[in-house]
């Protein structure tokens, strides 16, 4: 396969959000109980003023004037339309708050809380939330609210024996948030990122228009919104492709001391994409520049009874590379051995575990719970995502992994996703 057909995505973070810029308004009334939907509760304002990045470091948080809790896309359209027509300050949409530097915040404006935080009863009033995921088994899709968390989409689909095809590593992100970015994980080499697995969208534009779009209808808006960082509209519904859900996963990690060998094996594995091919279902990897990292929370996969010592593995420049693959299965795992024989990893570095499919997809949340228990989650999270072409990835390894990071040890994860450019 030619170099032109390959991209390597080097990820030193990847947590996502949807944001829309436009004017907003606090004084509007359509006969519904908008006073209940529009909140100035201090806890709502505080939540809307923070995000996963937590990078402001002592600077006062950017606080909105109010937080809006919609029950439907019509609520959002009315708010945006009034804002556009009356020329008030900004409106932003907030999913699960996983922006890095305040992209979903708006000083003095209105934050649309896309999640279900206000669903249920409040002040004696029964409040219905946005629509729940709707699964079409025969047509193989799920319709999901833009603020729905992917973990809840997964649970709804599993009731029908189905699951979306492409994921992010962390499932407690909103549908609209990841689709406004890309939605990338180890399945992307085969199915493409999440934005390549969407049949149709409902979008509220910056003028408050409610528009349905797809490859066949309003195509320009469809492609602008997918991966558009929220600048072309708020996703209120996404029709997402699904497939029969696997039952179990064989999860394998192997180590490399030579970067070129590591990337060559990654590229070989993603070249096997397509139906009917004997291939892994998930191909990812990460860089280890600190001996402690391989045995800490990011690499808790490895047995604490048999800690891995970098010094014992003949590292190249003091850096190790971990290839991470999975094979979904129901009964047999016979294909795995043949795939592993094609790889050139350090022979003594094979680590394997079997677990339910859902447990693998939700693996990062388990890490989150451990870190929360140690008060290590609510801390600053500087993240950086980069696409690096195959032609420059060796230079990146020498300059960044072995250079900048190798000389300045970091305890943060450095993930490497091999991607097929055609996907």
Digit-by-digit pLDDT tens for the chain (423 residues) are 443 333 333 333 222 223 333 333 345 555 454 544 888 999 999 888 888 877 766 566 788 999 999 999 999 999 999 989 888 778 999 998 888 777 778 888 999 999 987 665 444 455 677 899 999 999 999 999 999 999 999 999 999 999 999 999 999 999 999 999 999 999 999 999 999 999 999 999 999 999 999 999 999 999 999 999 999 999 999 999 999 999 999 999 999 999 999 999 999 999 997 766 789 999 999 998 765 545 443 444 555 455 555 555 655 557 889 999 999 987 667 789 889 999 999 998 888 999 999 999 999 998 889 889 999 888 888 888 889 999 999 999 999 988 888 777 666 788 999 999 887
**Which pair of structure tokens corresponds to residue 417?**
């996703």
Location of structure tokens 């249920």? 120
Domain with residues 247-420, CATH architecture: 3-Layer(aba) Sandwich (3.40)
Whether the Cβ atoms of residue 104 and residue 21 lie closer than 8 Å to each other: no
Domain with CATH 3.30.43.10 in the chain: 34-125
66-68/110-113 β-pairing: parallel
Report the alpha-carbon distance of residue 38 to residue 409 in Å, rounded: 46
91-94/110-113 β-pairing: parallel
Using CA atoms, how far residue 231 sits from 203, 225, 339, in Å, is 12, 7, 43
Element (H, E) at 150: helix 150-158
Q: pTM of the full predicted structure? A: 0.85
Query: In Å, how far from its chain's centre is CA 357?
Result: 18
Report the alpha-carbon distance of residue 7 to residue 305 in Å, rounded: 37
Location of structure tokens 């002592």? 58
CATH, range 34-125: 3.30.43.10
pLDDT tens digit string along 70-107?
Answer: 999 999 999 999 989 888 778 999 998 888 777 778 88
pLDDT tens digit string along 233-264?
Answer: 999 999 999 999 999 999 999 999 999 999 99
Domain with CATH 3.40.462.10 in the chain: 247-420
Report the alpha-carbon distance of residue 349 to residue 1 in Å, rounded: 28
- Hey, which residues are catalytic here? 98, 169, 284
CATH, range 134-244: 3.30.465.10
């Amino acid at each position: 396969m030619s170099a032109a057909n390959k991209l390597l995505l080097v990820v030193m973070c990847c947590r996502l959000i949807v944001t829309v810029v436009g004017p907003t308004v606090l004084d509007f009334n359509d006969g519904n109980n908008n006073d209940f939907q529009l909140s100035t509760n201090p806890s709502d304002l505080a939540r809307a003023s923070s995000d996963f990045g937590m990078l402001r470091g002592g600077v006062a948080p950017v606080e909105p004037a109010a937080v809006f809790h919609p029950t439907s896309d019509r609520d959002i359209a009315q708010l945006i339309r009034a804002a556009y027509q009356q020329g008030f300050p900004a409106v932003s949409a907030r999913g699960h708050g996983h922006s890095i530097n305040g992209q979903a915040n708006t000083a003095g404006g209105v934050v649309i809380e896309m999640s279900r935080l206000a669903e249920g009863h409040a002040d004696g009033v029964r409040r219905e939330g946005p629509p729940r995921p709707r699964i079409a088994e025969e047509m193989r899709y799920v319709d999901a609210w833009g603020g729905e968390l992917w973990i809840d989409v997964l649970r709804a689909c599993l009731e029908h024996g189905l699951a979306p095809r492409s994921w992010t590593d962390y499932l407690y992100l909103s549908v609209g948030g990841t689709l406004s970015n890309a939605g990338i994980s180890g399945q992307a080499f085969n199915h493409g990122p999440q934005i390549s697995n969407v049949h149709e969208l409902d979008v509220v534009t910056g003028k408050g228009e409610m528009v349905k779009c797809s490859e066949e209808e309003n195509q320009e808006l469809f492609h602008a919104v997918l991966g558009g960082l929220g600048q072309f509209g708020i996703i209120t519904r996404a029709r997402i492709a699904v497939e029969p859900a696997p039952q179990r996963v064989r999860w394998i990690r192997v180590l490399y001391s030579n970067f070129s060998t590591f990337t060559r094996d990654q590229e070989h594995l993603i070249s096997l994409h397509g139906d009917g091919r004997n291939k892994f279902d998930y191909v990812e990897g990460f860089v280890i520049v600190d001996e402690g990292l391989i045995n800490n929370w990011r690499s808790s996969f490895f047995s604490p009874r048999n800690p891995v010592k970098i010094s014992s593995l003949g590292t190249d420049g003091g850096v190790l590379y971990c290839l991470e693959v999975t094979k979904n299965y129901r009964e047999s795992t016979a294909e795995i051995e043949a795939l592993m024989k094609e790889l050139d990893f350090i022979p003594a570095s094979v680590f394997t575990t079997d677990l339910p499919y859902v447990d693998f997809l939700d693996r990062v949340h388990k890490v989150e719970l451990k870190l929360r228990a140690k008060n290590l989650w609510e801390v600053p999270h500087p993240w950086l995502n980069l696409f690096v072409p195959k032609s420059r990835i060796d230079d990146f390894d020498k300059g960044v992994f072995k250079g900048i990071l190798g000389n300045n040890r970091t305890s943060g994860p450095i993930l490497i996703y091999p991607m097929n450019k055609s996907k």
